[in-house]
Amino acid sequence: MQIPNQAVSLRIFIGESDHYDGKPLYEAIVLAARERHLAGATVLRGPMGFGKSSRLHTAKILRLSEDLPLLIEIVDSEDNVNAFLPILDDMMSSGLITLEKVQVLQYGTKAAS
């Protein structure tokens, strides 16, 4: 699989406690992206954040949160990401989704010289 040099980055901001169809939402999104042969997906866990409600989510010892912020990032061609957006829309009831154009410099491993 190859990604074009001009691609898009899909960023999905959700909470750790969000679920879809009986499983964690982040897991459902990554598996759906994999099933649709998107180039890849990464889930990052944030130690602190807040969203539309301004409720603070933090991993500090004195206030251990079970709903830390998560970021799922997917980079692929604009066509592939646009085809995935309706699926994502069906899975999410809250959160933030952003798209931005990116230039892909490397994808995968380089051939030995």
On whether the CB atoms of residues 52 and 40 are closer than 8 A, the answer is: no
pLDDT of residue 48: 79
Q: How far apart are alpha carbons 69 and 64 in whole angstroms?
A: 13
Spell out the domain ranges in the chain. 6-103
pLDDT of residue 103: 96
pLDDT of residue 46: 87
On whether the CB atoms of residues 71 and 11 are closer than 8 A, the answer is: yes
pLDDT of residue 64: 56
The amino acid present at 102, given as its one-letter code, is V
pLDDT of residue 112: 66
Enter the CATH code of domain 6-103: 3.30.70.120
> What is this structure's pTM?
0.86
In the chain (113 residues long), the average pLDDT of successive 10-residue segments reads: 90 95 97 97 88 70 70 97 98 96 90 66
pLDDT of residue 81: 98
Q: How far apart are alpha carbons 77 and 5 in whole angstroms?
A: 9
On whether the CB atoms of residues 71 and 25 are closer than 8 A, the answer is: no
Which of 25, 14, 30, 13 is CA-nearest to residue 84? 30
